[in-house]
């Protein structure tokens, strides 16, 4: 698995939810089956939930890993 839950990631492609490439989010759920994927939460500038999208590993870049 490439990322862990609560890792901070940069989204590397636009999302249907209006999220643009380069947006920062946090991994909420890491899926292994049926294939590796990640549920990512994006917050607005006030810290309120803005969107939640599912991405494949190649769509994300690690910013900060949670220990």
pLDDT at 17 over 80: no
pLDDT at 14 over 80: yes
* Average of per-residue pLDDT across 26-45: 94
Mean pLDDT rounded to a whole number for the chain: 92
Q: Which of 44, 37, 40 is nearest to 2 (CA)?
A: 37
pLDDT number for residue 1: 67
Quick check: helix, strand or coil at residue 59? helix
pTM over 0.85: yes
pLDDT band at 15 (very low <50, low <70, confident <90, very high): confident
pLDDT at 16 over 90: no
């Amino acid at each position: 698995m490439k990322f862990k839950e609560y890792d901070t990631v940069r989204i590397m492609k636009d999302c249907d939810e209006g999220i643009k490439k380069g947006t920062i989010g946090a991994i909420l759920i890491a899926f292994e089956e049926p294939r590796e994927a990640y549920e990512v939460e994006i917050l607005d500038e006030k810290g309120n939930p803005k969107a939640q999208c599912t991405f494949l590993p190649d769509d994300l870049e690690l910013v900060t890993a949670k220990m």
